[in-house]
Structure 1
Amino acid sequence: MSTIEKTAFGKLDVDKRLQNPVFKDWTKKPGRFGFRGEIALKFAPNIADEARPPEIVAAQTIAVAEEGKPGIDFLACYLLSFAYLKSLVDALRGILVPGGKYFLFCNNIDLNKRYQVTYEGVSFYILPIDEATVYNETLELFYIERNDLKKLDTAGKTDRMADAALRYAAVFPEISYEEGLSLMGPVRDPGANRPV
């Protein structure tokens, strides 16, 4: 029987990095495992054996990996700061692979800008996010109609998004990680200006 251990998510699962899953199972495509939830990038120090929430997470993550392959094929997530790209690569070293399609929606990137950054040999799409979710932003980015997804379950929706991501071939201005650090703005409070 196929298990998560046979995918690139196996190590993340053992390390307790896959948190708050909305979906963590095989998709409709044979041999493809999907995950939707949070990936812990930096754990908080444990005090007196008390488990604490991670200090840094890749939130609203949507990702897939094929059984028997070392890497994640597609990942989209929300990062509170572009600077957390380094934490993402550190936490997922060997799991993020050249040729994978990785979309990072960053809180502190100019809303009118899109970039590509190659970091440790892996290419990332760096995209702004305003008030929408990674799910909604990703559908828009890939021109996926919501009506086309209505009859699909979470596994089917994850497959549709992953398939579109793997075909995605847009090219954005290439910047270095260091250039991105100099261009990023302050982190906006995601809870500001929301009705109580």
Structure 2
Amino acid sequence: MTSIDNTALGPLDKEGRLLNAVLKSETTKSGRFGFRGDIALKFQAQFADEKRPPVYSIEQVLAIAEEGEPTIPVLAGYLHSFAYLPEAAKVLDGRLSPKGSYFMFCNNIDLLAKYRTKVGDITFRILPCDESTVWKEMMDLAGVDKNDIKKLGPAGRLDYLLDAAKDIGGSYSEISYEDGLAKMEPVKNRGENRPV
């Protein structure tokens, strides 16, 4: 049985950062642990024992980690603002590898943009995400058809998709974080145009 404590996700779990889990279990591959949910980046001040939601998180995270390995090989998630990227890199510091595949979908970048942005020695692929989900965007990006995975359980689907994501190529403009910050658009209000 694979325990989260023996993977690169373990320290994040101990810090109470793994929230809203849709999946948080071993997967169909031996020695692998999978997570689908949110990774809290900035916590609110807590009073007494009340639990408050984080100020912001990496949302809709898809991640796998191998037992005994210090780093997460593949991770995809959604940032409500490109400006949160350094915070994400800081929270994940030491848990990502220069050889890993990391995808961040952002609310406030041009809908036609595809960037490669380095924070330290870690490269993130930055992609737009407006009215879709990380799962759907990653399926499209990896060229996985939903019929390929419909007979698999939640853990098997995550394995299949993230194994395919390791080999995603594509042309991305190399851009520094500072340049990306200068180009980013205003953050869209998520509650706008929603029925009350």
2:51 alignment partner AA: A
Please name the residue that 2:107 is paired with: 107
2:125 alignment partner AA: Y
Offset, 1:112: 0.9
Partner SS state of residue 166, structure 2: helix
Partner SS state of residue 100, structure 2: strand
1:35 alignment partner AA: F
Please name the residue that 1:55 is paired with: 55
Partner SS state of residue 167, structure 1: coil
1:28 alignment partner AA: T
1:12 alignment partner AA: L
Offset, 1:30: 1.1
**1:110-168, CA deviations, whole angstroms, 9 ceiling, x for partnerless residues?**
00111000111000000001101111111011111111111111111101111111111
Count of equivalent residues:
196
Unaligned runs of 5+ in 2: none
Q: What does 1:8-87 correspond to in 2, within 5 Å?
A: 8-87=8-87
Offset, 1:92: 1.1
Aligned equivalents of 2:65, 2:156: Cα separation in 1: 15
Report the RMSD for the aligned CA atoms in angstroms: 1.2
TM-score by length of 2: 0.96
Offset, 1:194: 3.9
Aligned equivalents of 1:171, 1:16: Cα separation in 2: 36
1:65 alignment partner AA: A
Unaligned runs of 5+ in 1: none
Runs of 4+ in 1 over 2 A off after TM superposition: 190-196
Is the contact made by 1:103 and 1:125 (CA closer than 8 Å) also made in structure 2?
A: yes
Partner SS state of residue 170, structure 2: coil
Please name the residue that 2:154 is paired with: 154
Offset, 1:195: 4.9
**1:43-96, CA deviations, whole angstroms, 9 ceiling, x for partnerless residues?**
111123322111110111100111111111111111000011011011111012
TM-score by length of 1: 0.96
